[in-house]
Structure formats: structure tokens, C-alpha cells
């Protein structure tokens, strides 16, 4: 299916809460949930109601807030956790269990056949207890799991028809897109159960891995705002939106309130006690700043020349910096025009040269550039014609 | 070739200087150059000496500093710029010219045949003037360029044997790894000239794109420290290192002084006037923080269970957070042991439950957790056996 039809399963309220500094109050969670659904996200994942008393009441509050979203509780593959979660009124359960050899050994200590038996048992328990609940089973650390082990989990579970989706998690964030493509593609060909991808960002490939998963048949992708999560987090919501937008601007704009995204990211950063990184995709402060002369010239001619996205689609503006030694006369001309100064080419080049020389010596402001332009214009006017 | 044999061409002193807030002094540039070569980088790219008088003296200073690195000047595809650059004593020239239809129109306004003619003319000029200089020709915006246009540039230029390398730049940072793989692979099959990849990060795929380029035959990859560059930057050095490490820990450790990387990133952030992003790959403050109970339990058993990289290889330490409502009794037990408190399982579970309840009400510190553990231990001791 087209990338823009992928279902975003946002986990800011679960994986995001696992970010080391995050401690969202119930009001903060509700505010984030409302902002996410207003933006256009249709699935919200919340922390296991079994984690603590407040996790339970928070899950119930969000599940019963009347939001236009499916609220899914993330739980361990245990009947007790499932029962507690069902009682909160969530619409979906996201069960998870370790499958890689290293994580099985360090986590639950069980063999692959045991993983299958337990998943089936809990799956049947859920199906009996809450027949209409949406049920996902996910393998933790799927991409460090030998393919035969992974298929020995999913093929028999697929036959049981207990699960609405299978999850594939890059739990340590060490997968690259080629590996993600291989695993997702194989599972898609061998089963008919829809696939959800969850990717951590430890080696920086989480956005590209989400893209690779979707292009190879995953229908659901996990995100969090700013990528918040365990360690340095997972696929950021704004990163997945950027990839979708680059692939199909029209459909992405029709599906999401893109102009709400920057404020959503700023607010979640505030609630999590972090600054929006200067280099964050789309919402970092420098995402639409142009500096070098070659760039500023072409951007004045056609912004698409050096921009993958139109900042105005996101309620943002581009910045064209000219107060530095890499500046060019084309961008300086635009500033002169804005000041109402009509300078001849030679004068523009003289002004640009003065800007570069001054910037070689000390930090310049736009006021300094304006002063240079005014000086050069005054000299030009005083010159005999 | 193996990923770990890829040549890193670091451009912190050129692309990094195009980051909107960067204004590196000559001393700062020398310090960064020394730190990069000490870390193990063999190629340093500097700003065009034609950009300003200081750019010229800075390039000459770095080229003549006796560093164990090839210093390459990034220049426009102009004879004048090439002549100025050659005179600074750099060992390599990195020429660049727009090739995509949109960038050609907004930039130099020339047809593909003209691009080839100019590249060949400047290439011959350089070869006559400085026969031993290393010469790269790079197409700006290669991944939005129709493949026939791109091959109509590179195939004839390859025949001329003027260039040591061809560059492919994802100038607007909108390419995904599948597209990068396609273009790099085609160029590699149709020519014998080595390929260099330069990828921006606008949709967040710069690290994965560098990986895809290398896996498909690119021999040289551009980076900057923290990914500094135009807009939100390019492939970060520490991100490429993380990918190389995940692919081959031993070779990457043998090639680079990994423990110098965090300080290098912090220092460049300071010089560029930015904070290291909390979620930056490898060097962000939370990169090795573990929080949820399932994670902390397994990490205590085997850190590799939830870590793609060993933090100690980079001179870093892991943090295992337990003062929150997602904590688990296994991690609490480790803390109790550290405090010299030998608690029975029931007491550990009681202490964990108290930590969760307290964290449900207010923010907890490790001191608060220790107080709870001490209280529970005192009650256990007072209990009749």
C-alpha cells in the first residue's frame, strides 16, 4: 500500500514514558492524547495498566476520554496483565515477549516452543475474556533473532488466528533498512496477519527503518513525539511524517493537520523536560535555515531547489542568513531590495565583499549588513553619473 | 568492501561551517582538525578558499599544519576558485555543480551537456596546474536527478580520467535508502571511478543513506560532528561510527579512538553554540539509560540484551534508573545488594511496590528509594523469624 496509508501507532504515552526523564501527569497524558488525535493520529499506545496503580487509572482515563482513537495497552505476555488491562476499557492489547536468543536468556529464559505456547495461551484467554478487543502479539528483538526462530514463532501463531497483528521490534536499535526489509518481507510472504514495526534509534536508522518496513509490507508503524523512549528513543512521529510528506505531499496534508506538529513537539518536549534538539527533523530550529551563498541564491529563485519540504505547510518560515562570510551577492541583493535600495551590480558586489570582510573579523548582525548596504547606496548616489 | 573500510571524509570545517549558528575561529578550526585526526579521520574538507580572505588563510593554515590527513577544499566548478584553492596548498579539490533539473534552473541555468563541458574544462585546468592533486567532481542534488541525466554527466567524464572520485549528493536530504542504493549501484556498475556519498538529513535518513551508499559500493562517506550543516545537517560522524561499530566492533575499535568521540562531540557543540541533543546517537545524555522494569532486569543479567553498543568502548557508562513507577523488583534487588541489604523476595516485592506507589504520587530520587529499602529491611529484621 502507499506509504501515506500506513497507520501511525503513537506510543508517546508508553514508550515516551520510558524516556529516562519523562514523568507525565494524568493531565499531561490527556493533553498529549488530545493533541495527537487532533493532529490526526488514530492509535495511541499507553503503559501497561499493571505497572502501577496510577498507570491503571491513567489508562482508564485515556481509554474513556471519548477520543477518536484506538487506545492500546502495552502489556507483558501474562494473563494477569491482560486481565488488568481489559478491565480499564482499552480497545486493544499490545502483548510483547522476547524472542532473540540473547534477550530470551536475559529476560524470561524460555525456549521458542515455550514462547509460542505462552502466546497462544494468553491469546486464547484474551479472546475468551474480551472477544472484540484488538490483539497484537510482538516479538521483542526480532531483528537479532535467527529467521527460523522467528518464523517458528509466527507461523504457528498465524494458524491460530488469535491475533489481529504481529509486531516486529528492533529493540536494541541496531538494525539497518536492508535487514528490516528482509525480515518484514519474509513475514509478510509467509503469513497474512498485518505487521507492525517498532524501531529504536541507537545507531540512528529508526526513521529509515520505519520506511523500509512500510515499503516491504508493514501496515502499522510505532512512533513517539521527538522519538522519546528507552535510551535515545524510537522513530520520531515528525520524522515519519517527513518521510510520508516527501513521498506524497498531497495525501499527507489531507490526512494530518501538519501545522499543529511544531507546537505538539514543543509541548511534549516541555512536558518531558527536554529541549527540542537544534537538528531535529522538521521541528529543529535550523531545519529551514539557509546560509551559504550558492544556497541562498537558488532558494531565492526557487525554494524547492534546496528544500525537501515547504515550511509553510507546517506553519513554519524559512530563514535566509546573509550576515556571515559565506554570503553571496544574490541574497544581499534581495535584502537591498527589501530596504528599498536599488543598487547596481558593481555596488552589490562591493557591499557583499564588505560583508564578507567584516564577518571575517567579527560576528555580524543583520543591522550591520543593513548599515553596509546603506553606506554603499549613499556612496553610489553621491557618485557623478 | 566491508563497511569498516569505508573512508570517512569529515566536513565539519566546511559543511559544519554552513550550520546557521557556526562561526569557527581559525584556532577553533585547528582544534577540531586535530581532534578529528586524533580520533582517526583521514580526510578533512574545508570551506572554499574563494569564499573570503579568512577562508583562504584558514584553509592554508589547516593544509600546512602537518596533520596526518588529506585536506580537501570544497569549491564551485570554476577555474578561479580552483586556482585560489590550489595556491593554499590543500591536497585535494572537491568540485561541485548542480545536476538536477530544479537545481540547475535555480542555480547556474545550464544544460547537462554544458555541465559536462565545464566540469571537463575545469578538470583539465586543475590537472595541468596541479598534476598530483586529488580531484573529486560531485553532482549536487543527484537523487532528484533523472538517471539518464546523471549518467550523461558521469559516463563521459569517467572516460576522460580526470577525476579521482565522483560525488553523489543528496542535497535536499529527501532520499531514502532504497533510492540511494539504486543510484550508487548503477553508477558503480557503469564506471570504475570511486564514489563518495554526501547526504543531508531533512527527512531523517542521512545515517541509513550513508550505510546504503557504502553497502552498494561507495568508498567515501561525508560526515560532520553532530551532523552540523545547512538546515538540519548531514550524516553525523558519531552516527556513521555507530553503524560501523554495529557491523564490526573489532575493526571499528582498531581503526578509531572511540573513547575520544564523546568529548569531540561536546567540544564541537560548544564551539558551534549548541547543546548536544538529548537523543543524539551514541553521545546524547540518554543513549545508555535504561528505565522500564523489563529492561533493567535483563540489562542486569546481560547488558547486551538491550544495548546495541557497549558504552565502555566509548568511555561512557550506562545508567539504570529505578526511582520511578515503571521500575521492577530485579533492579531494586541490585540496589538493595549495593546498599548491603539482603532482602527476601517478598520484602523486595514490598519495597518495589512502595517505590511504585510513591512515584505515582510525586517525583522520586534515588535517596527516596534507598530510604524505602532501609525501612523495609528494618521491618524485616524486627519481624519474628
Reported as a pLDDT band with limits 50, 70 and 90, residue B296 is confident
Same domain? For A67 and A161 the reply is yes
For B123, the grid coordinates are 578538470
pLDDT at A102: 92
CA-based nearest residue to A23, from A227, A233, A228? A228
**Minimal CA separation from A243 to chain B, in Å:** 6
Task: Specify whether the CB–CB gap between B232 and A285 falls below 8 A.
Answer: no
Rounded to an integer, what distance in angstroms lies between the CA atom of residue B183 and that of residue B170? 11
Residue B39 lies in a domain: yes
| Closest chain A C-alpha to B383 CA, distance in angstroms | 27
Work out whether strand A70-76 and strand B165-170 pair parallel, antiparallel, or are unpaired. Answer: unpaired
- Could you tell me if residue A378 is inside a domain? yes
Are B20 and A231 inside 8 Å of each other by CB? no
Tell me the shortest Cα–Cα distance from A360 to chain B, in angstroms. Answer: 6
Q: What is the CATH number of the domain that holds A329?
A: 1.10.238
CA dist A297 and A293 (Å) reads: 6
Cβ-defined contact of A286 to B103 (cutoff 8 Å):
no
CA dist., res. B179 & res. B164, Å (int): 24
Region label for B273, one of left (φ > 0), alpha (ψ between -120 and 50) or beta (otherwise): left
For chain A, which residues score pLDDT lower than 50? Answer: none
- Nearest CB among A52, A106, A308 relative to B298 is that of A106
If residue B96 lies in a helix (H) or strand (E), which one and from where to where?
strand B92-98
In this structure, the answer to whether residues B209 and B93 fall within a common structural domain is yes
**Pick from B23, B201, B203: which is nearest to A324 by CB?**
B23
- Calculate how close chain A gets to B51, using CA atoms only, in Å: 6
How many folded domains does chain B comprise?
2
- Is B261 found in the same domain as B375? no
> Could you tell me where the DSSP H helices lie in chain A?
26-39, 53-63, 79-87, 101-106, 112-129, 147-160, 177-190, 206-215, 237-247, 249-255, 261-272, 293-301, 329-338, 345-361, 366-382
Over residues B108-123, mean pLDDT: 96
Does residue B157 share a domain with residue B265? yes
CB count within 10 Å of CB A304 equals: 16
Q: Percentage of residues in chain B with pLDDT exceeding 70?
A: 100
Same domain, B128 and B38: yes
Q: Which residue of A has its CA nearest to B22?
A: A324
CATH number of the domain within which A265 lies: 3.20.20.70
pLDDT, residue A294, reads 85
Per-residue model confidence (pLDDT) at position B294: 85
B32 and B118 assigned to the same domain: yes
Residues of A in contact with B359 (CB under 8 A): 23, 52
Spot the catalytic one: B295, B324, B362, B385.
Answer: B295
Q: Would A282 be classed as within a structural domain?
A: no
Residues A16 and A65 in one domain: yes
Is B281 a domain residue?
no
Residues of chain A with C-beta less than 8 angstroms from the C-beta of B243: 176, 203-205
Provide DSSP, A252-273.
HHHHS-GGGHHHHHHHHHHHHT
Q: Which of B202, B212, B243 sits opposite A308 (nearest CB)?
A: B202
Chain B residues inside the 8 Å CB shell of A223: none
- The answer to the question of residue A313 being in a domain is yes
Residue B127 lies in a domain: yes
What count of other Cβ atoms lies within 10 Å of the Cβ of residue B61? 18
Question: Residues B128-141: what's their mean pLDDT?
Answer: 97
Instruction: Say if A236 is an interface residue toward chain B (CB within 8 Å).
Output: yes
Q: Which domain holds residue B169?
A: 3-272
Shortest distance, CA A385 to any CA of chain B (angstroms):
31
> d(Cα A188, Cα B368) in Å, to the nearest integer?
48
Residues in chain A within 8 Å Cβ distance of B225: none
CB A187 within 8 A of CB A166: yes
A235-253 in b/e burial notation, b at 16+ Cβ within 10 A? bbbbbbbbbbbbbeeeebb
Q: Do A205 and B211 touch (CB under 8 A)?
A: yes
Q: Which residues in chain A have their CB less than 8 angstroms from residue B232's CB? A: 278-281, 284, 286-287
Selected for mutation to probe chain B from A203, A243, A277, A320 (highest B CB count within 10 Å) is A203
Q: Does B211 touch chain A (CB under 8 A)?
A: yes
Q: CB-based burial of residue B25 (10 Å sphere; 0-12 exposed, 13-18 middle, 19+ buried)?
A: exposed
Residue of B nearest to A247 (CA): B174
The answer to whether the beta carbons of residues B371 and B341 sit under 8 Å apart is: no
Q: Are B9 and B45 in contact (CB under 8 A)?
A: yes
Q: Which residues of A are catalytic?
A: 295
Q: Which three cell numbers stand for residue A308?
A: 525537501
- Choose from B290, B308, B322 for mutation: most chain A CBs within 10 A: B308
Asked whether residue A104 falls in the same domain as residue A140, the answer is yes
> Cβ–Cβ of A243/B171 closer than 8 Å?
no
Closest-CA distance of chain B to residue A225, Å: 12
Contacting A residues, span 67-106, partner chain B, CB-CB under 8 Å = 76, 98, 102-103, 105-106
User: B171 vs B297, which has greater pLDDT?
Assistant: B171
The DSSP annotation for B263-320 comes to HHHHHHHHHHT-PPPTT-TTTSTTTTEE-SHHHHHHHHH-GGGG-SS-GGGGT---EE
Query: Is B145 domain-assigned?
Result: yes
Question: How large is the ipTM?
Answer: 0.95
A-B interface: how many C-beta pairs under 8 angstroms? Answer: 284
The confidence band for B383, taking pLDDT boundaries of 50, 70 and 90, is: confident
The pLDDT value recorded for residue A296 is: 87
- Is the Cβ–Cβ distance between A125 and A82 less than 8 Å? yes
What is the mean pLDDT of the segment spanning B207-226? Answer: 98
Strand B134-140 and strand B165-170: the pairing is parallel
Buried/exposed B142-174: b ≥16 CB within 10 Å, e otherwise: bbbbeeebbbbbbeebbeeebbebbbbbbbbbb
- My answer on whether A28 and A130 are in the same domain is yes
**Cell numbers describing residue A86:** 481489559
- Whether A246 has its CB under 8 Å from any CB of chain B: the answer is yes
Same domain (yes/no): B243, B374 = no
Decide if A117 touches B, using CB distance below 8 A.
no
SS3 of residue B200 by DSSP: strand
Considering B221, B239, B272, which residue would you say is the last residue of a domain?
B272
pLDDT for A383: 85
Residue A161 shares a structural domain with residue A206: yes
Residue B146 lies in a domain: yes
Hunting for cell 529563485 — which residue is that? A301
Which residues numbered 324-363 in A keep a CB inside 8 Å of some CB on B? 324-326, 356-357, 359-360, 363
Average pLDDT over residues B57-83: 98
pLDDT in tens, B24-59: 999 999 999 999 999 999 999 999 999 999 999 999
The model's pLDDT over A253-287, given as tens digits with 9 standing for 90+, comes to 999 999 999 999 999 999 999 999 999 999 999 99
A305 and A264 in a single domain? The answer is: no
Picking from B241, B272, B303, the residue at the C-terminal end of a domain is B272
Amino acid at each position: 500500500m502507499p506509504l501515506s496509508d500506513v497507520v501511525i501507532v503513537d506510543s508517546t504515552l508508553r514508550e515516551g514514558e520510558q524516556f529516562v526523564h519523562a514523568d507525565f501527569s494524568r493531565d499531561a497524558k490527556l493533553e498529549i492524547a488530545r493533541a495527537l488525535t487532533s493532529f490526526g493520529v488514530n492509535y495511541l499506545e499507553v503503559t501497561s495498566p499493571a505497572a502501577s496503580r496510577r498507570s491503571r487509572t491513567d489508562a482508564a482515563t485515556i481509554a474513556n476520554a471519548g477520543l477518536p482513537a484506538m487506545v492500546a495497552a502495552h502489556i507483558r505476555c501474562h494473563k494477569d496483565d491482560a486481565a488488568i488491562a481489559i478491565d480499564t476499557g482499552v480497545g486493544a492489547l499490545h502483548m510483547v515477549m522476547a524472542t532473540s536468543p540473547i534477550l530470551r536468556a536475559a529476560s524470561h529464559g524460555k525456549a521458542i516452543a515455550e514462547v509460542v505456547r505462552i502466546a497462544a495461551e494468553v491469546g486464547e484467554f484474551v479472546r475468551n475474556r474480551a472477544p472484540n478487543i484488538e490483539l497484537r502479539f510482538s516479538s521483542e528483538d526480532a531483528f537479532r533473532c535467527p529467521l527460523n526462530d522467528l518464523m517458528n514463532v509466527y507461523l504457528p501463531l498465524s494458524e491460530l488466528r488469535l491475533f489481529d497483528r504481529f509486531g516486529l521490534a528492533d529493540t536494541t536499535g541496531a538494525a539497518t533498512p536492508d535487514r528490516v526489509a528482509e525480515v518484514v518481507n519474509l513475514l509478510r510472504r509467509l503469513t497474512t496477519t498485518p505487521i507492525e514495526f517498532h524501531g529504536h534509534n541507537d545507531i540512528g536508522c529508526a526513521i529509515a527503518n520505519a520506511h523500509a518496513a512500510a515499503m516491504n509490507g508493514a501496515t502499522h508503524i510505532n512512533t513517539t513525539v521527538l522519538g522519546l523512549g528507552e535510551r535515545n528513543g524510537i522513530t520520531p512521529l515528525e520524522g515519519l511524517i517527513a518521510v510520508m510528506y516527501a513521498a506524497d505531499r498531497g495525501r499527507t496534508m489531507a490526512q494530518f493537520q501538519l501545522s499543529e506538529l511544531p507546537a505538539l513537539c514543543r509541548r511534549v518536549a516541555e512536558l518531558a523536560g527536554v529541549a527540542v534538539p537544534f537538528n531535529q527533523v522538521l521541528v529543529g530550529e535550523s531545519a529551514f535555515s539557509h546560509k551559504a551563498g550558492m544556497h541562498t541564491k537558488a532558494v531565492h529563485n526557487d525554494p524547492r531547489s534546496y528544500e525537501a519540504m515547504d515550511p509553510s505547510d507546517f506553519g513554519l518560515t524559512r530563514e535566509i542568513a546573509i550576515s556571515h562570510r559565506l554570503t553571496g551577492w544574490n541574497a544581499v541583493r534581495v535584502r537591498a531590495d527589501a530596504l528599498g535600495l536599488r543598487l547596481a551590480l558593481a555596488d552589490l558586489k562591493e557591499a557583499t565583499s564588505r560583508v564578507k570582510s567584516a564577518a571575517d573579523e567579527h560576528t555580524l548582525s543583520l543591522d550591520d549588513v543593513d548599515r553596509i548596504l546603506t553606506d554603499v547606496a549613499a556612496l553610489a548616489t553621491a557618485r557623478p553619473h
